[in-house]
Structure 1
């Protein structure tokens, strides 16, 4: 399996959650490609850890839909499943809408400033064609409401379904159409600052629906 040559890229104290994130990110950014067979010994060598946390991470990735496993036969990176991604997009959008609805009544000026700063970083990353930085800044922007709503169930659901959307987000933020999200973020901030709960929720829904066209296939 053509995993990166650099060995020991993470500390020996790596836990299964860290292994999960490392392998997940490699799938999302295309280092590990759809259909590629995964060998836990190769992954363990790449990460510089034992095979046990790698196996546990692969089990989680299977549950998340990013890998497919046939016990005793193979583990492979899942092809893009349009139906599964559509479901993930709907659930993720709903969770972000709920986060805004629950957070907004108590959203502080400092949190609004954090959203503005994240959106500025997002815009700069898009101008620089830095997709990784754009995704990180987008996460920071939406993460303000997720943290402020203090609803652990929202974060749990997002942790489960957001990884399925990453390949779509990379496509969007690598294109000119992704720059429309900057203005959408600005509108969300303005509505939050005005205390318009329904308006902010609707604007959040609109923002997350921008991924939908990437799931359209000819003939639909």
Structure 2
């Protein structure tokens, strides 16, 4: 898909983060498709910024595995690779396990209720075939224990690698197996409500095992 020719200008405050998030989201949602060549001058013109924050964003995207940069040659959006997804999935699952273990004992009733409401929105989105809404609700649910754990190192790892999984989750949430994710969410929520750290940690990891197998 060609780079869109019209887009709102990036606000000047937090410019670097804004540019990174805009490009990251464009890759995750398919606006910038796998295999598409990226030129910093075109991206800068699209976003209405200089080339410097775009170049910085591209470096971060390469570290996360969302783009492949070959110095002096080309920069392209990566395709989903089964091995890469499995490796990232294992890291992200471990981080969510850790978040749950650190959050148990500090989760309030309102936190558990927020998870229940997020899963209800998730089920509704799946039933309606709204993948975007499902992704948002899924992120809100898992974000509760991450927020309560308040571990900055953990958050940094998740921010770097979760976007890779979001691309694979689009396949899962549009498939017939999407309901399995909601059921696993229920297991996690019950364990959190019971204050059972080991069961909650297993459930947190289990939610990622339903990602589609990519060959």
Q: TM-score, normalised by structure 1?
A: 0.93
Residue number in structure 2 paired with 1:94: 94
Alignment deviations for residues 156-195 of structure 1 (CA, whole Å, 9 cap, x no partner): 1111111111111000011121122112111111111111
Q: Secondary structure at the match of 1:184?
A: helix
Q: Write the distance in 2 (CA, Å) between the matches of 1:92 and 1:53.
A: 27
Superposed, 1:65-214 pairs within 5 Å as: 65-211=65-211, 213-214=212-213
Partners of 1:86 and 1:9 in 2: how far apart? 36
Secondary structure of 1:176's partner?
coil
TM-fit CA distance, 1:65: 0.8
Aligned to 1:58: 58
CA distance in 1 between partners of 2:23 and 2:155 (Å): 20
Aligned to 2:49: 49
Q: TM-score, normalised by structure 2?
A: 0.95
The verdict on how the C-alpha distance between 1:47 and 1:14 changes in structure 2, with shifts beyond 3 A counting, is farther
The separation in 1 between residues aligned to 2:68 and 2:79, in whole angstroms, is: 9
Native 8 Å contact 1:101 1:201 kept in 2: yes
Count of aligned pairs between the two proteins? 215
> How many angstroms apart in 2 are the aligned matches of 1:126 and 1:142?
17
Q: 1:174–1:9: structure 2 CA closer, same or farther, 3 Å change rule?
A: farther
Q: What is the distance in 1 between the residues matched to 2:108 and 2:53?
A: 40
Gaps of 5+ in 2: none
Residues of 2 paired with 1:14 and 1:36: CA distance?
27
* 8 Å Cα contact 1:7/1:45 also seen in 2: no
- Once the two structures are superposed, residues 118-157 of structure 1 have per-residue CA deviations (whole angstroms, 9 ceiling, x without a partner) of 1111111111211111101100000000011111111111
Structure 1's unaligned 5+ residue stretches are: none
CA contact (8 A) 1:101 1:197 kept: yes
How far does residue 79 in structure 1 lie from its aligned partner after superposition? 1.9
Match of 1:6 in 2: 6
Q: How far 1:214 moved relative to its partner?
A: 2.2
Instruction: Show structure 1 runs of 4+ deviating over 4 A.
Output: none
Counterparts of 1:192 and 1:174 in 2: how far apart (Å)? 27
